[in-house]
Amino acid sequence: MRVAFLGLGIMGSRMAANLVAAGHELSVWTRTEGKAAAWAVDLPAGDHPVPTVHDTPASAADGAEIVLAMVVDGQQVLALAEGLAADGGEGAGRLLVDMSTIGPESARAAATVIEATGWSFMDAPVTGSSPKAADGTLTIMAGGAEADFDRVRPLLDVMGALVLHVGGVGQGQMVKLINNAVAAANATALAQALLVAKATGADLDALVQVMGAGSGGSTMLNLKAGPMREHDYSTLFKLEHMLKDVRLCLEEGERAGVGFPAAAAAREVLNAAMGRGLADADFAALLEPLEGLAGIRL
């Protein structure tokens, strides 16, 4: 399939590499000059079409039936939609699938812009950090027309192990935001539990084993207990991106008149971690302000 991939960050670079390995013909663009060319050079050798590197999103999208975007925020997605709408002319039969996490409101705004010129639009955010992006086992939740989902499904199946159509445009975003808000709340609770154990002299190894075997277990326990105890914040998912997702979730809840106190508490911890200069660290670094508050270190 002739595909354009826009955005080659921590996640996008790995997702695009899987599409290349699966034999799809990719044209790529990313915001940082020289990054796309370096990515293409570093791809493993194999019997697959060589990706073409472009200087602009419109150039990359030229001739592509499906355009995938994996960028940082709603403002960037809207700019891409506006650029493709302006430079691509009538887009009948063409599909823009945004895989970033930008919130339902931004997704619908981008859809309005690009659909005015005949394009179709889907939001298909992903969950799972860079290792899952690398091995093609992401969870992908897609919002938009079912016919468009069927068109892009072969690509999504290359990148994800669980691929779901969850409703109209914006609903993929909403499912993703709620999921990440729960993840942030779980990670915050885990950090606090470890600190209470440390302060009271409990055996941390035993605690982690007991929690993992019972109702205290969670994906966050499995993923983040070790890095938190070792203060290893090697970035799998940036703290600033987790904060963005939690904020967006809270904003949507407020619009609906429903509070999310656990997510609100996680937001404050993430904000405090941002104040410590940890924006680019893995979100396991939310431990740091909690350690400061407790006056102890794991």
Whether 125 and 149 map to the same domain: the answer is: yes
- State the CB neighbour count (10 A cutoff) for residue 143: 29
How confident is the model at residue 45, as a pLDDT?
A: 82
pTM of the model: 0.91
Whether 119 and 31 map to the same domain: the answer is: yes
Whether 212 and 152 map to the same domain: the answer is: no
Buried b (16+ CB within 10 A) or exposed e, 40-55: beebeeeebeebebbe
Beta bridge partners of 141: 164
Mean pLDDT of 47-68: 93
Distance in angstroms (rounded) separating the CA atoms of residues 99 and 3: 14
Of 168, 192, 211, which residue constitutes the final position of a domain?
A: 168
* Catalytic residue from among 176, 224, 238, 244: 176
| 132 a catalytic residue | no
* CATH at 245: 1.10.1040.10
Whether 203 and 278 map to the same domain: the answer is: yes
Confidence class for position 242, pLDDT limits 50, 70, 90: very high
pLDDT tens digits for range 246-286? 999 999 999 999 999 999 999 999 999 999 999 999 999 99
pLDDT exceeds 90 at position 230: yes
Whether 152 and 244 map to the same domain: the answer is: no
Whether 125 and 32 map to the same domain: the answer is: yes
* CATH at 18: 3.40.50.720
Whether 69 and 143 map to the same domain: the answer is: yes
Of 168, 187, 212, which residue constitutes the final position of a domain?
A: 168
Of 153, 168, 183, which residue constitutes the final position of a domain?
A: 168
Instruction: Please give the residue range of the domain that contains residue 50.
Output: 2-168
Mean pLDDT of 106-125: 96
* Structural domain count of the chain: 2
How confident is the model at residue 218, as a pLDDT?
A: 95
Whether 64 and 137 map to the same domain: the answer is: yes
Whether 26 and 153 map to the same domain: the answer is: yes
Q: Which residue has the higher pLDDT, 231 or 1?
A: 231
Whether 289 and 205 map to the same domain: the answer is: yes
pLDDT exceeds 90 at position 89: no
pLDDT exceeds 70 at position 184: yes
Whether 205 and 108 map to the same domain: the answer is: no
Whether 155 and 81 map to the same domain: the answer is: yes
